[in-house]
C-alpha cells in the first residue's frame, strides 16, 4: 500500500520475448549491443528491461508493464525502457521497499551477450540504485535450438526487502 512501511519482503517474476529484426537498434538490459539486428518492439524493444519492469510491478502486485505503459499509447513509441524500470522502482519505493537482488536470464542465439554481461549488470544496478553484486545476468544460447532462433527471450526475478525507515532504528523485540 503506498505510503505504508513494509514489514516483509516480496518477490516478483517477469518474462518477455521480442523477435529480432534487421536494422533495429539492439538494446538489451539498457546497453547498446553492436549487432545488425535488434529486438522489435513498440518502445525500444528491450526485453530484459521489460521483464525486470514486470518483476518489479509483480512483486508489489501492481499490474504489469502493459497496464502502466500500454503500447496503444503513442507516447510510449520508441521510448527508452529504462524509464519503465524507473517508474516501477518509484512504485516499489512508495511502498517502503527496496531491491535486495535481481537474477535474470537472457536467451538468444544472437547477439552473443557474454562479453556484455558485466556492462548490463552495471547498467541495471545503476537503474535500481544497488551495487552490481546484487544483479545477476546469465546468457544462454541454447546451442542453436530452433525455439531460441530469431528472438531474444528474457526472464527476471526480483526480491524486495523493507527499506530502513528514515530517522528510526530497528525496533528490538523482547
> Closer to Mg ion at the Cβ: 50 or 116?
50
d(CA 90, CA 96): 10
**Is residue 24 within the footprint of Mg ion (CB under 5 A)?**
no
Total residues contacting Mg ion by CB under 5 A comes to 2
Burial of 162 (0-12, 13-18, 19+ CB in 10 A): middle
Window 125 to 144, contacts with Mg ion (CB under 5 A): none
Distance (Å) of CA 117 to CA 50, 65, 66, 93, 165: 17, 24, 27, 27, 33
Minimum distance from residue 153 beta carbon to Mg ion (Å): 11
Angle between helices 47-59 and 117-128 (to 10 degrees): 40
**Is residue 54 within the footprint of Mg ion (CB under 5 A)?**
no
**Is residue 16 within the footprint of Mg ion (CB under 5 A)?**
yes
Q: Which three cell numbers stand for residue 154?
A: 528474457
Strands, DSSP E only, in 23-109?
27-28, 31-32, 37-39, 97-107
Q: How far is CA 135 from the centre of its chain?
A: 10
**Is residue 109 within the footprint of Mg ion (CB under 5 A)?**
no
> Closer to Mg ion at the Cβ: 113 or 153?
153
> Closer to Mg ion at the Cβ: 50 or 95?
50
Minimum distance from residue 154 beta carbon to Mg ion (Å): 9
Choices 9-17, 90-98, 135-143, 156-164 (CB under 5 A): range interacting with Mg ion: 9-17
d(CA 112, CA 118): 13
**Is residue 50 within the footprint of Mg ion (CB under 5 A)?**
yes
Minimum distance from residue 156 beta carbon to Mg ion (Å): 12
> Closer to Mg ion at the Cβ: 88 or 97?
88
Chain contacts with Mg ion (rule: CB under 5 A): 16, 50
Amino acid at each position: 500500500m503506498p505510503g505504508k512501511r513494509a514489514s516483509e519482503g516480496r518477490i516478483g517474476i517477469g518474462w518477455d520475448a521480442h523477435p529480432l529484426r534487421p536494422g533495429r537498434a539492439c538494446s538489451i538490459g539498457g546497453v547498446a549491443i553492436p549487432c545488425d539486428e535488434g529486438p522489435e518492439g513498440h518502445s525500444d524493444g528491450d526485453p530484459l528491461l521489460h521483464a525486470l519492469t514486470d518483476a518489479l510491478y509483480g512483486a508489489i502486485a501492481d499490474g504489469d508493464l502493459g497496464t502502466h505503459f500500454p503500447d496503444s499509447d503513442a507516447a510510449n513509441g520508441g521510448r527508452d525502457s529504462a524509464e519503465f524500470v524507473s517508474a516501477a522502482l518509484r512504485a516499489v519505493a512508495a511502498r517502503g521497499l527496496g531491491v535486495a537482488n535481481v537474477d535474470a536470464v537472457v536467451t538468444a542465439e544472437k547477439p552473443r551477450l557474454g562479453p556484455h554481461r558485466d556492462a548490463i549488470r552495471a547498467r541495471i544496478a545503476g537503474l535500481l540504485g544497488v551495487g552490481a553484486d546484487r544483479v545477476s545476468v546469465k546468457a544462454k544460447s541454447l546451442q542453436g535450438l530452433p525455439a531460441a532462433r530469431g528472438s531474444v527471450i528474457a526472464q527476471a526475478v526480483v526480491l524486495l526487502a523493507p527499506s530502513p525507515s528514515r530517522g528510526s532504528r530497528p525496533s528490538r523485540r523482547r
